[in-house]
Amino acid sequence: MFCDQQAQPIFAHEEETLLLAGHSFRLCKLQDLDTILEHYVRQSAKTERIPYYTQLWDSALALGKYVLLNQELFVGKRVLELGCGLGLPSLCAAKAGAQVLATDFHPDNRGFFMKNVALNGLQNIEYCELDWRQPGLSDQFDCILGSDLIYEREMLPALLHCVKHFMGPQASFIYADPGRAALQEFSSSLEKLGMQGELLAIDEIYLQIWSRH
């Protein structure tokens, strides 16, 4: 686990400015998604190599907005983001005063994420590559963030294991989802783990706030 400020995106990219809940963020994004897709198709047929990390998804925007509108909940907290991609929710949590560990499985994500950290002048973020099937970290966190993580149903068992593994005794799990087919099953599974959920809606995205009973 470390924060490599020298990591750089491996593909051609451009910068854009995003305004969210009254805050400005500079983000590094791909110039040409089609070229990148062709690169990964040639490299491997495995779906886990699909570069979902290169896109800024609506669920990440909704989750980031929630964090910025509720900054008092994150000040001084240890926050983990699962499947961070470009990392907007992590950037929002860091700006709110949290100590953040951002994680993603894709081996090529680090450069894009760390570029975004540098563009926004944030120091209170670390990054590590994380496989939900073998987490390899023993830390517990005050808050876990996730957005649009269950686009494939087979991800559920590993994700549930990670949430249970990383949640501290008084922790919360805040999850944003556009309404994927597996969302109800995911919610029921969290309830079976002894968690209680609150449902909100932000910009047509479901936002669930889970805590232990």
Would you state the pLDDT for residue 133? 92
Would you state the pLDDT for residue 127? 96
**Average pLDDT in the 117-129 region?**
96
2 belongs to a structural domain: no
161 belongs to a structural domain: yes
- Predicted confidence (pLDDT) per residue in 164-197, tens digit: 999 999 999 999 999 999 999 999 999 999 999 9
Pairing assessment for the beta strands 78-82 and 99-104 based on DSSP bridges: parallel
Residues near 64 by beta carbon (within 8 Å), at least 6 away in sequence: 20, 21, 88, 89, 91, 92
Report the alpha-carbon distance of residue 152 to residue 181 in Å, rounded: 9
Report the alpha-carbon distance of residue 81 to residue 90 in Å, rounded: 6
3 belongs to a structural domain: no
Per mean pLDDT, which range of 33-47, 73-87, 181-195 is the poorest?
33-47
Range of the domain at 149: 13-212
* Mean pLDDT, the chain, whole residue set: 88
Would you state the pLDDT for residue 138? 87
Would you state the pLDDT for residue 3? 45
Number of domains in the chain: 1
Would you state the pLDDT for residue 28? 86
Would you state the pLDDT for residue 2? 42
Would you state the pLDDT for residue 4? 47
Would you state the pLDDT for residue 149? 96
CA 174 vs CA 24, 42, 208: distances in Å = 22, 36, 6
**Average pLDDT in the 117-143 region?**
94
Domain holding 75: CATH number? Answer: 3.40.50.150
93 belongs to a structural domain: yes
5 belongs to a structural domain: no
7 belongs to a structural domain: no
Report the alpha-carbon distance of residue 145 to residue 17 in Å, rounded: 23
Per mean pLDDT, which range of 33-37, 104-108, 121-125, 173-177 is the poorest?
33-37
* pLDDT over threshold 80, residue 30: no
| Nearest one of 156, 177, 147 to 81, comparing CA atoms | 147
Structure tokens at 118: 């540098």
Report the alpha-carbon distance of residue 42 to residue 165 in Å, rounded: 35
Would you state the pLDDT for residue 34? 61
* pLDDT over threshold 80, residue 51: no
